[in-house]
Amino acid sequence: MPLDIEPDPQTLGGPSKGLRQSTLLSRDERLAGRPNLCSDCGLCDTWLKPDMARACVFVRNRAEAIEQRLFGRNRRDGDELRFGVFQQMLAARMQQPVAGAQWSGMVTSLAARLLERGEVEAVITAGTMPGTRFAPRPMLARTPAEVLASAGNKPCLSPSLGLLGAVRDAGVRRLAVIGTGCQVHMLRAAEDKLGLERLDVIGIPCSDNVTYPDLTYFLEQVSRSPQTIVHYEFMQDYSLHMHHEDGSTERLNYIDFPMDKLEGIFPSACLSCFDYANTLADITIGYMGARLGWQWVLVRTDRGAKLLDLLREDLETTTLDSAGDRTRGVPRYIQMLAKPPGKPPKPVRRFIAWLQRNRGPRGLEFARAIIEMKMLRNLHHVRSHFRRFEPRIVPQYVYRTLAAYDDAHREAFGEGLQPPAGGQRAERQ
Ligand SMILES: Cc1cc2nc3c(=O)[nH]c(=O)nc-3n(C[C@H](O)[C@H](O)[C@H](O)COP(=O)(O)OP(=O)(O)OC[C@H]3O[C@@H](n4cnc5c(N)ncnc54)[C@H](O)[C@@H]3O)c2cc1C
Ligand code: SF4
Ligand code: SF4
């Protein structure tokens, strides 16, 4: 049986208070005493709460110090600035996809293999809260079947690190954790306190996460039948694909999203997050740098290389490709951030969607474009709402990545993309 935390779906982070507010849900007592920004990663539900100021990415982003410890260096110029330090990058998928998986099920298959081979004793993963389709239920899986049953995205904030207490109580010394970028930052920052012999970190890319009630609201705004959605994903073809119980697929182009109704659903923490690609994991397994139907894999550490080897015989692999030119679109995005345009008429939207799909960035260039745009949007959010936090929570690689857009940013916002005076200095981890 999995050990698990059973948060009430209504208080699973709770509804956000909107873009201009600083906490997720001050009414939720679990969040009392937490910093203004919090993604409810679960660390503060454990004995590690006193270490929050040292571990929390929203108190101080320590990614660059952790990189030094993990990789012996920081990111090199080029793709590592956006994707993080990596040894290998490839497109892959399971030859036999896992039932209920988000893509082909590489993540849960890998964790199940670790348990099967006895390499780890337990895996922290996110199952589904009974009675819901998408609310996460953090689980400490002890068998391959338990971890495979947790396949599929629960696209909401999940307090998964809350299980670290159960890990300690159960005497687990060899652990695998499946988590988002913020969870992995806190885990790495607190790693020395966990008393583990071995820790395997399987990261999933993550952006624009929401609380469960806000997810329900989001699906109501974008779907003709929100109750029957069994799986959805933001695809590389610039549209949201929603699969329904009856086997039908509904698609909504990004350009057709009702943005006026979506203002305020993303928590401020997720809008102040700069680790889309989960860069402190041993291996990151996502999709968006690969062509449709394939998964995007970044092997970061020697341990990550061994993890990929464990799965190799079950994988098809291929190379990644890249097409289009983001450097034309990103400056236009900066102008739109500064002066949001109204929604264009339907025929114009249809034409823009066609252009995006057929002429826009594809493959790795799509991933570069999306990561740069999220960095720009989130830097703008921090500067607009939490400016005094900027020196602490925006890592230096953000400014290095965005340097090419300094002029465009200055023209649109009247200020450039340099770090503030007295910004982050390298810290030892
Ligand atoms: C909120 C969210 C946003 C994402 N955004 C992107 C993106 O923009 N680009 C991209 O390339 N990939 C993104 N991903 C990851 C991607 O959708 C897949 O999860 C990943 O590619 C693994 O697919 P799979 O078939 O191998 O996973 P599966 O084998 O289906 O396993 C999925 C694993 O993810 C875990 N999980 C599910 N929900 C959560 C959660 N809320 N918190 C922590 N763990 C969870 C499950 O426990 C399970 O272990 C996102 C995932 C989430 C949860
Ligand atoms: S994000 Fe995690 S570590 Fe930071 S305050 Fe919230 S629960 Fe604590
Ligand atoms: S968007 Fe960032 S802060 Fe929000 S859940 Fe994902 S990794 Fe964490």
Chain Cα centroid distance, residue 394: 16
- Regarding whether 244 and 105 lie in a shared domain, the answer is no
Which ligand has an atom closest to residue 152 CA?
A: 1
- Confidence at residue 28, expressed as pLDDT on a 0 to 100 scale: 58
Residue 239 domain flag: yes
Ligand 2 neighbourhood includes 41 CB (under 6 angstroms):
yes
Q: From the CB of 401, is ligand 1 less than 6 Å away?
A: no
Residue 191 lies in a domain: yes
User: Which of these three, 286, 318, 350, is where a domain ends?
Assistant: 318
Greatest CA separation for the chain: 61
**In terms of residue numbers, what domain contains 245?**
214-259
Evaluate: CB of 98 within 6 angstroms of ligand 2. no
pLDDT at residue number 421? 80
- From the CB of 211, is ligand 1 less than 6 Å away? no
Neighbours of 313 (CB within 10 A): 7
Whether 429 is covered by a domain: the verdict is no
What is the distance between the alpha carbons of residues 239 and 236, in angstroms, rounded to a whole number? 7
34 C-beta closer than 6 A to ligand 2: yes
Number of domains within the chain: 3
Give, for ligand 1, the residue of 40, 90, 114, 153 to mutate: max count of ligand atoms closer than 8 Å to Cβ.
153
**Predicted local confidence at residue 352, as pLDDT:** 86
- Residue 397: CB atoms within 10 Å: 22
Asked if residue 268 has its Cβ within 6 Å of ligand 2, the reply is no
Q: Which two tokens stand for residue 307?
A: 């993890």
Q: Could you tell me if 66 and 174 lie in one domain?
A: yes
285 and 401 in a single domain? The answer is no
Contact 412, 372 (CB under 8 A): no
Q: How far apart are CA 269 and CA 257, in angstroms?
A: 22
Q: Assess whether the C-beta atom of 184 lies below 6 angstroms from ligand 2.
A: no
218, 207: one domain: no
Atom 47 of ligand 1, nearest CA residue: 126
Domain boundary among 280, 302, 318: 318
Number of H helices, E strands in the chain: 16, 14
Whether residue 420 lies inside any domain: the answer is no
Same domain, 175 and 222: no
Whether residue 295 sits in one domain with residue 239: no
**Shortest-distance ligand to the CA of residue 58:** 2
Query: 157 CB under 6 A from ligand 2?
Result: no
Residues 41 and 158 in one domain: yes
Ligand 1: residue whose CA is nearest its atom 48: 151
Residue type (1 letter), 272: S
Distances (CA, A) of 415 to 204, 272, 406, 408, 421: 33, 19, 8, 10, 14
Which of 185, 204, 238, 316 should be mutated for ligand 1, with most atoms under 8 A from CB?
A: 204
Q: Is 428 inside any structural domain?
A: no
Q: How far is the CA of 237 from the centre of ligand 1 (A)?
A: 18
Q: Specify if 359 maps to a domain.
A: yes
Per the domain annotation, does 419 fall within a domain? no
Together in a domain, 182 and 252 = no
* Whether the CB of 101 sits within 6 Å of ligand 1: yes
28 in contact with ligand 2, CB cutoff 6 A = no
Q: Give me the tens of pLDDT residue by residue for the chain, a chain 429 residues long.
A: 333 444 444 444 334 433 333 334 434 566 667 777 899 999 999 999 999 999 999 999 999 999 999 999 999 999 999 999 999 999 999 999 999 999 999 999 999 999 999 999 999 999 999 988 899 999 999 999 999 999 999 999 999 999 999 999 999 999 999 999 999 999 999 999 999 999 999 999 999 999 888 898 899 999 999 999 999 988 888 899 999 999 999 999 988 998 888 888 888 899 999 999 999 999 999 999 999 999 999 999 999 999 999 999 999 999 999 999 999 999 999 999 999 888 888 888 888 888 888 888 999 999 999 999 999 999 999 999 999 999 999 999 999 999 999 999 999 999 999 999 865 554 555
As for ligand 3, residues whose beta carbon falls within 6 Å of it are 39, 157, 180-182, 206-207, 209, 269-270, 273
Give the separation between CA 252 and CA 234, rounded to whole angstroms.
10
In this structure, the answer to whether residues 169 and 314 fall within a common structural domain is yes
Nearest CA to ligand 1 atom 44: 179
pLDDT of residue 373: 96
Mutating to test ligand 2, I would choose from 47, 48, 52, 389 the residue with most ligand atoms within 8 A of its C-beta, which is 52
Sign (positive/negative) of CA torsion 381, 387, 392, 397? positive
Considering every ligand atom shown, identify the ligand nearest to the alpha carbon of residue 111 and give its number: 1
Position 192 scores a pLDDT of 96
- Give yes or no: residues 282 and 239 share one domain: no
* φ, ψ (nearest 5 deg) of residue 67: -55, -45
Q: Are residues 172 and 28 in the same domain?
A: yes
Ligand nearest the Cα atom of residue 41: 2
Residue 276: beta bridge partners? none
**Does one domain contain both 104 and 221?**
no
Ligand 2 and 40: CB distance under 6 A? yes
Output the six-digit token pair for 62: 């320590």
